[in-house]
Amino acid sequence: MRARLFFAILIVLGIVHSVVVINSFDGRDVVSGIYYAHVVGDSVRFVPQTGDPITTVKKVGSGNSIFLIESKSNPVYAGLDVLLINNGNSVEAYKSEEPYRTNLELAKKSGAKRFILVSPSYGYAAVSVLPYAKLTKSYLLFATKDNFDSLKETLQNAEGILIYGYVDEEVEKGLAEMGKTYEKINTGDKYGDNVEIVKKYFSLNPSKKQAILTDGNFLEDSIVAGDDPVIFIAMLIPDETYRYIKAEVEGGQLSVGLVVGEEYAQSAYNLKKRINNELGGNKFSVLVKMGQSIPAMGSNLLPLDIFVLPGPVVSLSIKEANYNDNTKSIEVVYKNSGNAYGYFKSSSFVYVGGKYLSTVGDSEAIGIKPGEEKGVRYTVEIPPEMEGEIVMNTTVIYGASSKTFDNGFNSVFSVGRARYEDVSSVLIEEAVYDSEKDELSAKIRNNGPVDAYFLFSTEYVENGQKTTIEDDNVYELKEGESKVVKMSNLLLKDPKSAQMKVKVRYGARTAFLDKTAEKEVSILEGGVPLWLILLFLLLLALVIYFVWKKRKEERGGPVYRGRGIGL
């Protein structure tokens, strides 16, 4: 009762503040709440995963109007609303039952007209774009091929859309189908994308001279506030990031870097020293935030409140390795068991009978889809005089970035030996694009002596610009089997003048789709592909024939059958 009376007095005095508080173990709820708060102009607090809820309550203070976003099934602390009310606040609670629905409902509630679309697999994307989003009153939407349809209503009247980082290609197709224009930042690299969004931030807010230095994998109050741009660093700072920071320091745009947490303090100090040595003077300084002080909890320095975000998981392993006497190469099959597209490079020492033979590896990063098994051949010719077990000592580095690898492993394993020849053969019999339906149809036939697997893609050129779209599925074709593959929503602007072809990569093993087949696409103004019409007419003729024969037999009339004629 006293708390309510106190709050009523504060309302009369006009000193009530609005605060968004998020109480959920699900990082998607936390991110949605933070972006909602910045769009509507409220301050925001979150309950850290391992922190004391009392700390959050003390940070919020008293006399506030609280919008509490709380996971219905997985809150960090049950009963937080009671603690907030007892501390002299009013509370409106929102129960999050499903994170993607919460993300969308808060978008609508915020009234946002500008949106940033990211994949929920990349938690660091939400950290990277946060300052820019606050500056432009943009709301972050999690966008995937599975939930895009639910976003259409919200995006239909959007005044600005930015796609940040990797998203499913169906998201971009969907926006094009809606007639929505959008900006896109996707360099294929976590650090490259980050540099691009920081450039956009400084172009809008050149008076800002300080940036937060972090890896993007967690939230903390300084980051959540969104008042400073965030620049991603690591133990080893990528060259592109270093060059960018140095250029901004040299140009007078950046003078202070705030490191959140101790993990990258030494990296940041080394960065400062190197930049100042190269530029001369002390143009760049580094501060390290190692703790926090909360006046309501005394003068002691407390640990930082941290919320770790889910990140892309690239989980790479070597499934098998065999020496193929036919190709004179070691065929290694890598598998990505993670949830994100990844890149890897390997280097291996090859031994035969305990003796070193050669070193093989990858000169460029190799991409691998989530769930994919990818085969790589390493040419090694084993001399006849070398006998015994083949062993590889392999070091693999990998990650979600094509330029910076943050994971790796070393493995020593035996290599099998086989003599294998791929005799598969696949033919593209027909390929037609129906502009009326915006649908590409291709008939693929296995005309080889063994079962085959293929990956389907299309490539078209419009106004000098080439676009390639690859299907996610690897299809199986039994010996002699044909399959019709379709691809829609290509959204060609001028089908008449477009140059289009389809391509299949195929082979007898799913990991080694080394063979290719191509065919030019016939582009129709509308209607049904010719081969489908012929197939339909053939089936219709067969049906008519069998119906006629059956009626003849029922009437007892003669049914003429073929027979030999002797001389």
Domain boundaries, the chain: 187-302, 316-418, 426-527, 528-560
In the predicted model, what is the mean pLDDT of residues 455-470? 84
- 539 in helix, strand or coil? helix
The gap between the terminal CA atoms of the chain, to the nearest Å, is: 117
> Distance between CA atoms of 425 and 448, rounded to whole angstroms?
4
Q: What is the pTM of this model?
A: 0.75
pLDDT at 472: 80
Instruction: Pick the closest to residue 513 from 429, 450, 455 (CA basis).
Output: 455
pLDDT digits (tens, 9 = 90+) for 114-129: 999 999 989 999 999 9
How many C-beta neighbours within 10 Å does residue 541 have? 10
Name the residue with higher pLDDT: 393 or 297: 393
- How many Cα atoms sit within 13 Å of 324 on the Cβ side? 18
Q: Which CATH architecture has domain 316-418?
A: Sandwich (2.60)
Strand 426-434 to 439-446 pairing: antiparallel
For tokens 């690239």, the residue is 314
pLDDT at 493: 73
pLDDT digits (tens, 9 = 90+) for 400-419: 888 888 889 999 999 999 99
Selecting from 2.40.50, 1.10.405, 2.60.40, 1.10.3470, what CATH number does the domain 426-527 have?
Answer: 2.60.40
Name the residue with higher pLDDT: 463 or 205: 205
Name the residue with higher pLDDT: 210 or 313: 210
Name the residue with higher pLDDT: 555 or 186: 186
DSSP 101-144: HHHHHHHHHHT--EEEEE-TT-HHHHHHTHHHHHHHTEEEEE--
Tell me which CATH code domain 187-302 carries. 3.40.50
Residue 245 clears pLDDT 50, i.e. is over it: yes
DSSP 314-328: --EEEEEEEEETTTT
pLDDT digits (tens, 9 = 90+) for 538-550: 788 788 877 777 7
CA angle 244, 247, 252 (to 5 degrees): 125
Instruction: Pick the closest to residue 31 from 124, 162, 165, 164 (CA basis).
Output: 124
Residue 220 pLDDT class (50, 70, 90 cuts): very high
- 417 in helix, strand or coil? strand
Instruction: Pick the closest to residue 491 from 145, 185, 172, 150 (CA basis).
Output: 172
For tokens 């400062």, the residue is 272
The letter for the amino acid at 108 is K
pLDDT at 470: 86
Average pLDDT in the chain: 90
In this prediction, what percent of the chain has a pLDDT beyond 70? 92
Output phi, psi for 541, to 5 deg: -65, -40
Residue 437 clears pLDDT 60, i.e. is over it: yes
- Please give the order of strands across the beta sheet that includes 230-232: 230-232, 210-214, 256-260, 285-289
Residue 301 pLDDT class (50, 70, 90 cuts): confident
Name the residue with higher pLDDT: 566 or 174: 174
- For residue 518, give Cα distances in angstroms to 397, 481, 501, 515: 34, 18, 7, 10
Same fold, 187-302 and 426-527: no
Residue 529 pLDDT class (50, 70, 90 cuts): low
Least confident of 25-39, 50-64, 487-501, 551-565: 551-565
Residue 565 clears pLDDT 50, i.e. is over it: no
pLDDT at 555: 65
How many C-beta neighbours within 10 Å does residue 499 have? 12
pLDDT at 547: 76
- 384 in helix, strand or coil? coil
